Every structure is written in structure tokens, then in C-alpha cells.
Amino acid sequence: LTTRLTGVFDRLKRRGALSESDVAEAMREIRIALLEADVALPVVKDFVAKVRERAVGQEVIKSITPGQMVVKIVHDELVAILGSESSELRLGSPPAVVLMAGLQGSGKTTTSAKLARRLRSRERRKVLLASLDTQRPAAQTQLEVLARQSEVASLPIIPGQGALDITRRALDTARREGYDVLILDTAGRLSIDDALMEELAAVRDLARPSETLLVADALTGQDAVNTARIFHERIGITGIVLTRMDGDARGGAALSMRHVTGQPIKLVGTGEKLDALEPFHPERIASRILDMGDVVSLVEKAAEVVDRDEAEKLAKKLAKGSFDLSDLRTQLQQMRKMGGMKGILGKLPGIQKVQKQLEEANIDEKLLVRQCAIIDSMTPAERRNADLINASRKRRIAAGSGTTVQDVNRLLKQHRQMQDMMKRMKKMGGLQNLFGRGL
Ligand code: GDP
Ligand code: MG
């Protein structure tokens, strides 16, 4: 997905304007890319249609490139489908029941314990865990062990009891002992079968859960869609937990399941450890599906603060390779406005290497201010040609700016590094393309 989409956008970035055929071409590629990312076909069709509609209907903002515009539209649409905000659990009056459902191995038992731990430690809720898994030997013991690790109570195991009997006992215990939340971990099968669904439906009718969470492995791709649809049809889920997002799943399953069930993704599992459970952030998953770093927010921020005339001049100079100290000063000021070098670079995809170099060079806010002062103390000729700056000039500049000769040397070194970096960025289609005609 990444390479493909990046390829599409790279091509768009180089165009002057976003024509209808540009959009159509991009959409064809995006369609394939989403399918490759395991988003289900009907979802892809819907998504592409919506994005095309919005892309064609919307003016391309003059100050950014057409490619950036498409990134933003695609991103916004992804976020809209995934849910416009992170979704909280809705827990009813105590004891609120949370029913965990899903296929075997999807992470139900682990997620039950993680959730219990989270509710205990973050919300100070009194939580009871109970395993209804009578299918797999030792499943109940597994939950008991995890409960202990989470410092949460678990229902004592009585061998030979069926799922419904355990449910009754768990409800009784929760009421009698004043638990806020009862989490019911259930049995899973390798694939969906009627017996499992009937048992789940019976448990649901008995326990009347305030949340029925479908636990699904983010790596299962197309299957996740069928699973989600059938579980939703048979037992009516109220939310989805996407596990194994610590793996290299692109998040395509999130888009599909959300679309197919209409239910929000509420939590995301990010590891085997019991604290590896996070609230769902649509923005993050959307970025992950697109894998465009934070281009979107960068575009928004850049549109706010970048002085366009200055930027255009700078772009011409960059193109010519004549990046002098005055240009550096302009650049430094714009960077200060945008939250510093790190702030910008952190938002660009694939730029870690350059960022690391800059960190080594120790660019920070205070340094930016001082560097501007040093450049202010130079003569126009010096700013144009750094080679003029010999030892005595350095002493004069240092005195004039209240810095030391070492500071001046560091700045000059910085300037050389910046020139190098600009060249590299140009090769990568980096800053210049990102800011488009703006920079
Ligand atoms: P269940 O059959 O649905 O109850 O699944 P389990 O809770 O027993 O989990 C199956 C395996 O997946 C275990 O080894 C878990 O440690 C692992 N697992 C669960 N959630 C995650 C997750 O978010 N990330 C990773 N890496 N592993 C997970
Ligand atoms: Mg289990």
C-alpha cells in the first residue's frame, strides 16, 4: 500500500493542477492499494466513490500541491469512516457486563484481562473476570492466572459447569459483592459455527451486557470482515477490539469491520503484555493505512504560517542551489513559527535519517534564536557568501551578536549541513514537494 500510494501521490505532486483524469487515475490506484491492504471489496468501492466525489467537487487549495490535496481528502474520508473521535466504553449501572466475543486465538482472554486491568487502574473500578470457555482445557485457568497478574478478581472455577451456569454464578457474585464491572470471556472456535453462536446469544440474553465487544485479529484481513458481519448479525456487537496492531497489519481490517457493522472500534491491542491496550484513534489508523506520516497536519499548519512570497523566493534559490545565509535566516524564522525543526521533520514520512542528523547537530528553539542573531550581525556580502567569513570577521560577528566564535562556527557548519540536507531532500522529493509551490 505504502509504496503504491506514495507513488501515486508523488506523481500527482509533480503536476501543476489536479485534473479529472488525475483524480480518476489516482482513484484506480488507490482502489488496488486498499484491496492489497485487505480492505473488503464493497468497502473499497464505497470509499473510492466518496473520495472521488469529494475530490472532484472540491477546489484544490492554491497554496498546496494537488497531491497534498488528495492526501488530505483521502485521509479525511478514512477518518470519517473510522469514526470521527475515539470511542469510550459505555458502562451501564453496576454491575455493568462486558461480553467478549470472537474467534479462537483472536485475543479474547488476553484482552479481557487487559481491559480489567485498565478499568481497575485508570478508573478505579471494581472488576470481576469470569471465563465461560468450557471448550478449551485450561482456558479458565488461563484467565485466572491473567486476572491475578492484573490484580483483578476472577470467579472461582467450578469444574463441570456449563457456560450458562457460570454466567448466572458470575452475575450473582458481581451483584452480591458489589462489583462495578463484570467481564465475561467466552469460548471461541476456529471458524464460526451455530452452536457457538447459540451459546453466545443465550449468554447475552441472560447477562444483558452493556457492551458486547468483538475481539478480532488485525492480521486476519478479509476474514475479519465475514467474522464481523456474522457476529453482528447473530449477537449484535456494540464495539470492536482490534488486536495485534503491534504487528505489521496496515489497519485495513479496521476500515472493513467498521463499515460492515457500523460499530466503532473501541480499543486496540498492541502487544502481549497486559498494559498493551489503547483507546482507538481513527486519525492514527487512517495515517497508518495511508502511511503518509503527518502530511495532512503539516499541510494544515504550513498553510497557516508559511509566508508565501518569502517561500517562493526561497524555492527558486533552492532550485538554483544558491542557499545563502539570508535564506537560512528566513528558513530559521519559518521553522520557529512551525514549532522548530524537529516539529516539522517529525511530520514528514521517511525522514528519520535526516532528523537524527539534526538531533546530533542539536537544533532547538533557543539555538534558532541565537542563530538568527548571528546572521543579523553579518554584512550583506557575508550573508551572500559564507566563504568571506574569516577569523577576524568571525570575532566581529560573535561580538556583535553576543555569542562566541564557536557559536559562529557552529552556525556556519549548520549552514553547510542545511545545504547538504536541502540537496538530499530535493532528491527525495521532500520539503519542496511537500510545500509545493509554497516553498
Ligand atoms: P483467545 O483464544 O481469543 O482467548 O486468545 P488469547 O487471549 O488466548 O490470545 C491468543 C494469543 O494472542 C496469546 O498468545 C496472546 O498473548 C496473543 N495476543 C493477544 N492480543 C495480542 C496483541 O494485541 N498483540 C500481540 N502481539 N499478541 C496478542
Ligand atoms: Mg480464550
Indicate which atom in ligand 1 lies nearest the CA of residue 243: 23
| Residue 184 reports pLDDT greater than 90 | yes
For residue 82, how far is its CA from the centre of ligand 1 (angstroms)? 23
Q: Which CATH class is domain 295-438?
A: mainly alpha
The response to whether 102 counts as a known ligand-binding position is: yes
Mean pLDDT over 95-116 rounds to 95
Mean pLDDT over 85-110 rounds to 88
Which of 205, 220, 183, 219 is closest to 101 using CA atoms? 183
Distance CA 102, CA 115 (A): 15
Answer with the residue of higher pLDDT: 413 or 360.
413
Give the global pTM: 0.66
- Which residues, by Cβ under 5 Å, contact ligand 2, an ion? 108-109
For 191-200, the pLDDT digits (tens) are: 677 888 889 9
Mean pLDDT over 305-330 rounds to 66
**pLDDT class of 244 with cuts at 50, 70, 90:** very high
Percent of residues, the chain, with pLDDT higher than 90: 36
Q: Which CATH class is domain 2-82?
A: mainly alpha
CB atoms near residue 27 (< 10 Å): 20
Mean pLDDT over 65-76 rounds to 72
Mean pLDDT over 19-27 rounds to 71
Q: Mean pLDDT across the chain, nearest whole number?
A: 79
Of 27-31, 183-187, 284-288, the range with the highest mean pLDDT is: 183-187
Which region among 133-137, 166-170, 260-264 has the lowest average model confidence (pLDDT)?
133-137
For 389-434, the pLDDT digits (tens) are: 999 999 999 999 999 999 999 989 888 887 777 667 666 554 444 4
Checking ipTM against 0.90, whether it exceeds it is yes
Answer with the residue of higher pLDDT: 116 or 10.
116
For the chain, the 3-state helix, strand and coil shares in percent, each to the nearest 5, are: 60, 10, 30
- Sequence ranges of the chain with CATH classification 1.10.260.30: 295-438
| Residue 203 reports pLDDT greater than 80 | yes
**Predicted pLDDT at 15:** 38
| Residue 26 reports pLDDT greater than 80 | no
Q: Which long-range contacts (CB under 8 A, 24 or more apart) does 380-388 make?
A: 380/326, 382/325, 383/324, 383/325, 383/326, 383/329, 384/324, 384/325, 384/326, 385/324, 386/324, 386/325, 386/412, 386/415
**pLDDT class of 204 with cuts at 50, 70, 90:** very high
Q: What is the DSSP letter of 389?
A: -
Quick one: CATH architecture of 96-290? 3-Layer(aba) Sandwich (3.40)
Cβ burial of 88 (10 Å; 0-12, 13-18, 19+) is exposed
The response to whether 220 counts as a known ligand-binding position is: no
| Residue 149 reports pLDDT greater than 80 | yes
Mean pLDDT over 347-362 rounds to 53
Task: Let me know: does 116 contact 310? Beta carbons within 8 Å.
Answer: no
For 324-339, the pLDDT digits (tens) are: 888 778 777 766 665 5
Which of 104, 108, 110, 280 for a ligand 1 pocket mutation test, highest count of atoms within 8 Å of Cβ? 110
Ligand 1: residues with CB < 6 A are: 102, 104-110, 188, 243-244, 246, 269-272, 276
Mean pLDDT over 180-207 rounds to 88
**pLDDT class of 80 with cuts at 50, 70, 90:** confident
Backbone angles phi, psi at 392, to 5 degrees: -70, -35
Torsion, Cα 91 92 96 97, to 10 degrees, reads: -70
**Predicted pLDDT at 336:** 65
Closest CA to ligand 1's atom 14: 272
Which region among 333-337, 352-356, 369-373 has the lowest average model confidence (pLDDT)?
352-356
| Residue 276 reports pLDDT greater than 80 | yes
Mean pLDDT over 75-99 rounds to 82
- Sequence ranges of the chain with CATH classification 1.20.120.140: 2-82
Is it true that the peptide bond before 264 is cis, omega within 30 degrees of 0? no
**pLDDT class of 152 with cuts at 50, 70, 90:** very high
**Predicted pLDDT at 119:** 94
For residue 139, how far is its CA from the centre of ligand 1 (angstroms)? 13
Percent of residues, the chain, with pLDDT higher than 70: 71
The response to whether 400 counts as a known ligand-binding position is: no
For residue 242, how far is its CA from the centre of ligand 1 (angstroms)? 11
Distance CA 142, CA 146 (A): 6
- Sequence ranges of the chain with CATH classification 3.40.50.300: 96-290
| Residue 150 reports pLDDT greater than 80 | yes
**Predicted pLDDT at 326:** 80
